[in-house]
């Protein structure tokens, strides 16, 4: 089904006007779920299945919000309470949730999880954290510090260094100017069925199965982005 047809169906289900009316602002964005194969020993199949279903729901919600924004009344927008403000917050929440889940699913589930000292990933973590073990300890601390959210290792284009960031929810404490390279979901829905509230053990086990092939490509892309911004 074409994106335009999907968007039309979403609008119809919400009782919204077609996008080609004079009141419509733009064509709705339509995101589609991506398939992921995660051969992990750290999580149960049921946990992964439930988690993927949640990811699909975030996409549906993002598409719904996008469709509503096409014809949303912008005349009553205010910072206290307005339909437009609520939609814009929901837009960021579901967009970030979709993107972060895709990064997370793609960088886990490698049972070999081979990282060598001559890789760009290892050298950058050694350089900016003072050692690979120091990065691991800081990453674990960030997992424990997050209030239902994410831990992200990313390149800060301003400081020109790789740093670990704590993101709460999907849209709180989100750093600007950062290129994510390693992403860990530390919402309880990611691990509760298998680990209850033990986020530290969950994170330790997931770090043993990080897909360094995927992550290496992200480090390379991030370094090239920094060069494009005039750094290094």
Give the residue-averaged pLDDT of 44-55: 96
Q: Clarify whether residues 8 and 100 are in a common domain.
A: yes
Q: Which residue has the higher pLDDT, 24 or 124?
A: 124
Q: Clarify whether residues 94 and 27 are in a common domain.
A: yes
Q: Which of 106, 138, 169 delimits the end of a domain? A: 106
By the 8 A CB rule, do 197 and 188 touch?
yes
Q: Clarify whether residues 124 and 71 are in a common domain.
A: no
* Cβ-proximal residues to 165 (8 Å cutoff; 6+ apart), any chain: 142, 151, 152, 153, 154, 173, 175, 178
Write out the residue range of the structural domain in which residue 136 sits: 120-228
143 domain-assigned: yes
Say what the pLDDT of residue 113 is.
Answer: 83
Say what the pLDDT of residue 25 is.
Answer: 45
Residue 174 CA to residue 165 CA, distance in Å, equals 8
Q: Clarify whether residues 136 and 46 are in a common domain.
A: no
Q: Clarify whether residues 148 and 179 are in a common domain.
A: yes
Q: Which of 106, 131, 156 delimits the end of a domain? A: 106
pTM of the prediction?
0.86
Say what the pLDDT of residue 7 is.
Answer: 61
Q: Which residue has the higher pLDDT, 6 or 169?
A: 169
pLDDT tens digits, one per residue of 73-85:
999 899 988 999 9
115 domain-assigned: no
113 domain-assigned: no
Structure tokens at 92: 């960021």
Structure tokens at 111: 């049972």
Task: Give strand ranges (E) for the chain.
Answer: 149-156, 161-168, 178-185
Does residue 232 surpass a pLDDT of 60? Answer: no
Q: Clarify whether residues 72 and 167 are in a common domain.
A: no
Residue 219 CA to residue 208 CA, distance in Å, equals 19
User: 39 — alpha (psi -120 to 50), left (phi > 0) or beta?
Assistant: beta
Say what the pLDDT of residue 30 is.
Answer: 76
Most confident range, picked from 31-40, 73-82, 123-132, 223-232: 123-132
Q: Clarify whether residues 100 and 173 are in a common domain.
A: no
Q: What percent of the chain has pLDDT over 70?
A: 87
Q: Clarify whether residues 220 and 174 are in a common domain.
A: yes
Say what the pLDDT of residue 81 is.
Answer: 85
- Would you say how long the chain is, in residues? 232
Say what the pLDDT of residue 29 is.
Answer: 67
Lowest mean pLDDT among 24-28, 91-95, 133-137, 167-171: 24-28
Does residue 14 surpass a pLDDT of 80? Answer: no
Counted domains in the chain: 2
Q: Which residue has the tokens 């719904």?
A: 64
Q: Clarify whether residues 42 and 66 are in a common domain.
A: yes
Q: Clarify whether residues 125 and 220 are in a common domain.
A: yes
20 domain-assigned: yes
140 domain-assigned: yes
134 domain-assigned: yes
Q: Clarify whether residues 97 and 131 are in a common domain.
A: no
Residue 163 CA to residue 148 CA, distance in Å, equals 20
Give the residue-averaged pLDDT of 153-176: 95
114 domain-assigned: no
Q: Clarify whether residues 133 and 83 are in a common domain.
A: no
Lowest mean pLDDT among 27-41, 107-121, 199-213: 27-41
Does residue 57 surpass a pLDDT of 60? Answer: yes
137 domain-assigned: yes
Q: Which of 77, 106, 135 delimits the end of a domain? A: 106
């Amino acid at each position: 089904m074409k994106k335009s047809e999907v968007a039309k169906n979403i609008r119809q289900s919400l009782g919204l006007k077609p996008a080609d009316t004079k009141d419509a602002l733009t064509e709705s964005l339509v995101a589609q779920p991506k398939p992921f194969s995660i051969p992990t020993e750290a999580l149960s199949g049921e946990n992964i299945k439930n988690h993927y279903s949640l990811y699909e729901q975030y996409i549906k919600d993002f598409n719904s919000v996008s469709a509503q924004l096409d014809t949303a009344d912008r005349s009553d927008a205010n910072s206290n309470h307005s339909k437009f403000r609520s939609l814009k917050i929901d837009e960021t929440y579901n967009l970030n949730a979709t993107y972060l889940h895709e990064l997370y699913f793609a960088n886990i589930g490698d049972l070999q999880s081979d990282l060598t000292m001559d890789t760009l990933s290892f050298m950058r973590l050694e350089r900016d954290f003072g050692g690979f073990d120091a990065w691991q300890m800081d990453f674990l601390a960030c997992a424990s510090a997050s209030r239902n959210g994410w831990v992200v290792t990313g390149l800060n284009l301003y400081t020109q260094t790789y740093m670990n960031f704590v993101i709460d929810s999907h849209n709180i404490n989100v750093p600007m100017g950062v290129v994510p390279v390693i992403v860990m979901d530390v919402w309880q829905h990611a691990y509760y069925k298998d680990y209850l509230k033990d986020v530290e053990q969950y994170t330790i086990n997931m770090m043993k199965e990080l897909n360094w092939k995927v992550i290496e490509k992200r480090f390379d892309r991030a370094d090239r982005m920094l060069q494009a911004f005039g750094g290094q």
